[in-house]
Amino acid sequence: MNQSNINPIRQLGINLNHWYVVATSKEVKNQPLGVQLWNQNIVLFRDSLGTVHALENRCPHRHVKLSHGKIIENNLECTYHGWQFNCQGECVTVPYLEKDQKLPKNCKIKAYPVQEKQGFIWVFPGDNPDLIQPLAIPEWDDLNYIATVSVIHCQGHFSFLIENLMDMYHGHLHQDWQAWTDAMLDKIEADENRVDAYYLAQSYYKIDKIWSISQLFFPALRKLHPEPLTVSYIYPHWVSTLGEYFKIYCLFCPISLTETRAYLIHFTSLNAFWRLHKLPIKFRKFVKDLCFGSAQQLLDGLVKQDVLMIKQEQQAYLQHPQCQGYEFNRTIRSVQRLIQRQAEPST
Ligand code: FES
Ligand SMILES: [Fe+2]
């Protein structure tokens, strides 16, 4: 392995020509919300119809944050002198213009392409948003999947997080918290947009009978059995499946070279309970909403452990950037190659 090819990974940028998740739908209420995506400050707000807009979070007058302002009908009003901006980012009101003064023509801030989809707010920071779509999450609206969302906020480059998620040997860190054990890498497939790593593992859970839900609460009922464990880096996001019962997504929002936010969505499948499928849709929707977040404690616990490791990796890198670790998981090299390839257009 060529050493000079490894450490620069932690210095690489993101490919801006992708959809990134900057917030959940629920986080954007009736006040503007400031978020960050790869060193860019962005303000999200809903217009009178509830449509979400994303503007540069900087008033062009005195450069204060627009996220401290107010939504006035379909415009965003700066808190300092009350200038207003429409959803295209154009200044449409300066409240104290004198008779012979006109609105400055070029007084405009950047408006970002934004979509609200599958419970999240997706922003496209590059050019040509029409060439690509946000990652599909069909389970989000599927009544047979119960979702839990956990926020990952780590003080580390995004490469540390994706390497963590693609390296199933780190299950060692989570011990009994993990749904599986004894992962063994079987094969890797990679192209210019994704890396798929196929592991074989022993799973603790088989959610195939209604009573098997109790395995989630009583460890004695769990029986180890083999299941395929697949993890995919579908740049810039991550998807994993464990047998037929669990699916997990990680939606990335890299903030800077040393800070990353992401949303982890855990889905438990109810597909095996065919009787449930016969119940009225309204009831099934009620059950789905009622069970939302049922794996919260577990997921937050796993995230906490990972975040601590990533912080330490980042600190160690900053202290000794030339110091190489040893690596035996072939997946990591494929992941790093993909990060390098994707970073090229924007560097
Ligand atoms: S700084 Fe925004 S209106 Fe003056
Ligand atoms: Fe983990």
pLDDT at 207: 66
Q: What angle do CA 236, 18, 293 make, to 5 degrees?
A: 55
Q: Is the pLDDT assigned to residue 119 strictly greater than 90?
A: yes
Q: Is the pLDDT assigned to residue 88 strictly greater than 60?
A: yes
The finding on whether 61 has its CB within 6 A of some atom of ligand 1 is yes
- CA–CA dist 298, 296 (Å, integer): 5
Interval 306-323 mean pLDDT: 95
* DSSP letter string, 229-274: EEEEEETTEEEEEETTTEEEEEEEEEEETTEEEEEEEEEEE-TT-T
The ligand placed nearest to the CA atom of residue 171 is: 2
Q: Is the pLDDT assigned to residue 244 strictly greater than 90?
A: no
How far is the centre of ligand 1, averaged over its atoms, from the C-alpha of 75 (Å)? Answer: 14
Intra-chain end-to-end CA distance of the chain, in Å: 23
The finding on whether 68 has its CB within 6 A of some atom of ligand 1 is no
Place of tokens 């959809």: 19
Of the candidates 260, 256, 240, 257, which has an alpha carbon nearest to the alpha carbon of residue 248?
240
48 contacts 74 by C-beta, under 8 angstroms: yes
User: Helix H segments across the chain?
Assistant: 158-166, 171-174, 281-291, 296-319, 330-343
Confidence of residue 208 (pLDDT cuts 50, 70, 90): low
Q: Is the pLDDT assigned to residue 16 strictly greater than 70?
A: yes
List pLDDT tens digits, range 284-306.
888 888 888 888 888 999 999 99
- CA–CA dist 294, 142 (Å, integer): 16
Confidence of residue 1 (pLDDT cuts 50, 70, 90): very low
Q: Which residue's alpha carbon is nearest to atom 4 within ligand 1?
A: 81
pLDDT at 209: 62
The ligand placed nearest to the CA atom of residue 76 is: 1
Walk me through the domains of the chain, giving residue ranges and CATH numbers.
20-123 (2.102.10.10), 138-343 (3.90.380.10)
The enclosing H or E element of 226 equals strand 225-234
Interval 310-335 mean pLDDT: 94
Q: Is the pLDDT assigned to residue 60 strictly greater than 50?
A: yes
Which of 213-222, 254-263, 276-285 reaches the highest mean pLDDT? Answer: 254-263
Confidence of residue 213 (pLDDT cuts 50, 70, 90): low
How far is the centre of ligand 1, averaged over its atoms, from the C-alpha of 109 (Å)? Answer: 13
Interval 190-202 mean pLDDT: 95
Q: Which residue's alpha carbon is nearest to atom 3 within ligand 1?
A: 81
Interval 22-40 mean pLDDT: 97
What's the chain's average pLDDT? 91
Confidence of residue 178 (pLDDT cuts 50, 70, 90): confident
How far is the centre of ligand 1, averaged over its atoms, from the C-alpha of 62 (Å)? Answer: 5
Confidence of residue 165 (pLDDT cuts 50, 70, 90): very high
Confidence of residue 326 (pLDDT cuts 50, 70, 90): very high
The finding on whether 117 has its CB within 6 A of some atom of ligand 1 is no
What are the residues whose beta carbons fall under 8 Å from the beta carbon of 261, sequence distance 6 or more? 36, 151, 152, 153, 154, 252, 253, 254, 255
Interval 140-150 mean pLDDT: 93
The finding on whether 277 has its CB within 6 A of some atom of ligand 1 is no
Confidence of residue 313 (pLDDT cuts 50, 70, 90): very high
The finding on whether 107 has its CB within 6 A of some atom of ligand 1 is no
Q: Is the pLDDT assigned to residue 6 strictly greater than 80?
A: no
Confidence of residue 210 (pLDDT cuts 50, 70, 90): low
pLDDT at 221: 66
The finding on whether 85 has its CB within 6 A of some atom of ligand 1 is no
In this prediction, what percent of the chain has a pLDDT beyond 70? 93
Confidence of residue 2 (pLDDT cuts 50, 70, 90): very low
Q: Is the pLDDT assigned to residue 203 strictly greater than 90?
A: no
Q: Which of 57, 61, 67, 93 for a ligand 1 pocket mutation test, highest count of atoms within 8 Å of Cβ?
A: 61
Choose the weakest-confidence range: 147-151, 197-201, 283-287. 283-287
Count CB neighbours of 272 within 10 A: 15
